Amino acid sequence: MTHQGWLRDSKNRWALHFLQVPKAFDNEIYVYIDKWNVSSIGTPEKFIDRRKVALLPAIETWNELVGLGWSIVDKQFGMFA
């Protein structure tokens, strides 16, 4: 899955982490989407929640968020700023 990693909203308030889950017992591919609030320096600060989503809806969510101005974070965790 190429749509894996961190997205951050344009106002620096939220970050989402997309992580593909190993194949489940039903042979479906799922993605965990973790929601974090972001500190004033741009790093994930507090874990909010986790959703387990099928692959195609996860890709649709990723694409929609990027289209709405969310940025893809290329740096390692703890190095957002």
Fold of 5-73: Nuclear Transport Factor 2; Chain: A, (3.10.450)
Q: Residue 2 pLDDT more than 80?
A: no
- Kindly state the tokens that stand for 78: 């703890």
pLDDT at 80: 47
The pair phi, psi for residue 8, each rounded to 5°, is -130, 140
Where does the pLDDT of residue 18 fall: very low under 50, low under 70, confident under 90, or very high at 90 and above?
very high
pLDDT at 35: 97
From residue 15, how far is each of 23, 24, 43 by CA, in Å?
Answer: 25, 26, 9
pLDDT in tens, 5-14: 999 999 989 9
What pTM did the predictor assign? 0.84
Q: Where are the domains of the chain?
A: 5-73
pLDDT in tens, 21-63: 887 677 888 999 999 999 888 888 999 999 999 999 999 999 9
